[in-house]
Structure 1
Amino acid sequence: MDKSKLIGLLHEMAVFVEVIEQGGFAKAAKVLGCAPSSVSRTIHRLEASLNEKLIERSTRHMALTPVGKKVHMHCLEMLGSAKNAVFAAQSEQEDICGSLRVAAPKALSRQVLMPIVLDFAEAYPNVDLHFKVADHFIDPMSDEVDVLIQITNSPKENLVATSLGQCRLILCASPAYVERIGMPSHPDKLSEHNCLCLGENPRDKIWSFSSNRHSTTVDVKGSFAVNHSEIRREAVLRGLGVSVFPEFAVQSYIDNGTLVPLLADWHVSGNYQGKIIAQYVQSKYIPRQLRAFVDYVKSGLDNNRHLKLEPIKAFSMMD
């Protein structure tokens, strides 16, 4: 195939990758901003040009053919090279500009990252910043996100990971609740307390604790469950019960005495604890706006004494 015909296939190949990543024509069309029929015609043109069936599809299912799997792999490499070309150009720009797409969990975004991100947007007006708030994992390699910020001790492999800060979980209650019900002396005593959970799945009612060489799990019960830390915090402030929170959600209330930490000698295990980590795709060329953003967030979290982490060198899970 000559170069002119090959150039004409580049768009079809990019649409093909999007269809596979999104898991369907309609979802790909929504991302691409066109009609599903347009996406379908594009895939038909690609298959006709290659004289091969790439996707087996029915009304409910879609799967790559053996040839489709090979073509998809090479198309991914093509898009990766295109992205590296853009990164190479952006890394040489003196001014910090260009686009940047960032994803982060809801509670961390609302209660910690929001002022830092807005300050960054003001400080770098030439950066087109798209900030996506979502609690599910978003893969920078497939979801068109440049930087993922998450709270975890297990960074995603094959991505660069830079530690920005750290977060631990704290069990707490209001002083009025403690005066009325009492202070638990051991995790097992939580069976006597009204424990407010996330309520997202049955595991949310199993709280795990460790202290020195001892560990225990407690099946807790409570009259109220909500998967929103600010609403659950308000319930605890009103004295409805005890609950577990990320440190950033309650530390200021503990500092002013409106909340009291419980079982301070015990470490609480669960989601939303660990290192606050920024992850992005491994590349020889890192865009200046990406570097600037990660550095800016790191500096902002360093100024938060409760989330501060000792500076460490960015590392690659590929090393």
Structure 2
Amino acid sequence: MRDLELALLVQAQGSIAGAARVLDLDPSSVSRSLSALEAELGVRLFHRTTRKLSTTEEGAAYLQRVAPLVEEMRAAAQAASGARQAPSGTLRMTASVAFACQMLVTVLPAFSERYPEISVELISSDANLDLVEQGIDLAVRLAPAPKGDLVSSKLMDTRYHLVASPAYLARVGGVKTPEGLRDHNCLRYALPGFGDVWRFRSDAEPFEVRVTGRHKFSNALALLEAAREGLGVALLADWLVAEDLAAGRLVELCPRYQGTVSDFETAAWVLYPNRRYLPRKTRVMIDFLRESLAG
């Protein structure tokens, strides 16, 4: 059973080193287990070189057939032991700087109280880190429906609001429609893929507004603070500006319009490398985030 799980994990990770990182094992130990399984079966499961690993034709067929059986055995074992074994270990997760600070840190106390044997390493980065390469268990990313090899599950929808401080509006004047932004200092992201065009929609067809301004910022927290300080108009996510809007520190502009700096279907997604080998510490964190953030 263990050697089969290792083989499936190596296939999913695409390398022996990746599987070893997930399991916190020495790569040589994983390689020996694979060799033992291949010797027992009399079949080579993987082509291995110093630079690349790929599944053989026989190996792909074999692993495809045994994967559901291994999953059933693992589920049965977890069901049998779950009642008496609490999830434990170190969970490495990553999210953007703003989402980590504003959303994840605030729910960690409740998670730690519920799962005292799990330690969390939260990596705040606005770069899309490689989960497999860097040994990260899960990521929370703000994007349209993710594509690629990672497994994804939606945590919460996201809507963007056009906001400015009362002081800025008193000094410069308000904005009645998004087209009026051309006469305002717009606070923008200094990130790849976030240009100087903001998109809006209401009941009519979506349209674009080219915006300008004196200031750009590399993360949303800095952009939020700039808006609070009256530097200009910003387009920010609801989870980031909700408290400021409620407290009157920011005012929503053009509330009839939905805006975005990238895509209207942007949401918060949790991503993880492998559906088949999902440690309990990762599973309970995903369930906890869905419970805590979805409402």
Q: Kindly state the Cα deviation for residue 36 of structure 1 after the two structures are TM-superposed.
A: 2.6
| SS of the residue 2:189 aligns to | coil
Q: Quote the Cα distance in structure 2 between the aligned partners of 1:176 and 1:254.
A: 14
Q: Deviations over 1:136-172 (max 9, x none)?
A: 6999xxx996x9877678599xx997x8765421111
Matches within 5 A, 1:272-283: none
The 8 Å contact of residues 177 and 239 in structure 1, kept in 2 or not, is answered as yes
Matches within 5 A, 1:278-293: none
1:39 alignment partner, one of 27, 30, 35 = 30
Which residue pairs with 1:178 in the alignment? Answer: 169
Matches within 5 A, 1:31-70: 31-70=22-61
| SS of the residue 1:43 aligns to | helix
Which residue pairs with 1:313 in the alignment? Answer: none
Letter in 2 for 1:194: N
| SS of the residue 2:223 aligns to | helix
List gaps (5 residues or longer) in structure 2: none
Matches within 5 A, 1:1-319: 10-89=1-80, 93=83, 97-99=86-88, 105-106=95-96, 107-122=98-113, 124-125=114-115, 128=118, 130=120, 166-269=157-260, 270=262, 294=287, 298=291, 308=295
**C-alpha distance 96-60 of structure 1, shift in aligned 2 (>3 A):** closer
Q: Kindly state the Cα deviation for residue 28 of structure 1 after the two structures are TM-superposed.
A: 2.3
The 8 Å contact of residues 151 and 272 in structure 1, kept in 2 or not, is answered as no
Q: Kindly state the Cα deviation for residue 59 of structure 1 after the two structures are TM-superposed.
A: 3.8
**C-alpha distance 68-225 of structure 1, shift in aligned 2 (>3 A):** farther
TM-score by length of 2: 0.71
| SS of the residue 2:25 aligns to | coil
Q: Quote the Cα distance in structure 1 between the aligned partners of 2:55 and 2:285.
A: 39
Q: Kindly state the Cα deviation for residue 130 of structure 1 after the two structures are TM-superposed.
A: 4.9
TM-score by length of 1: 0.67
Identity %: 25
| SS of the residue 1:202 aligns to | coil
Q: Quote the Cα distance in structure 2 between the aligned partners of 1:97 and 1:12.
A: 24
List gaps (5 residues or longer) in structure 1: 1-9, 302-306, 309-319
Q: Quote the Cα distance in structure 1 between the aligned partners of 2:181 and 2:59.
A: 55
The 8 Å contact of residues 57 and 63 in structure 1, kept in 2 or not, is answered as yes
Q: Kindly state the Cα deviation for residue 55 of structure 1 after the two structures are TM-superposed.
A: 1.9
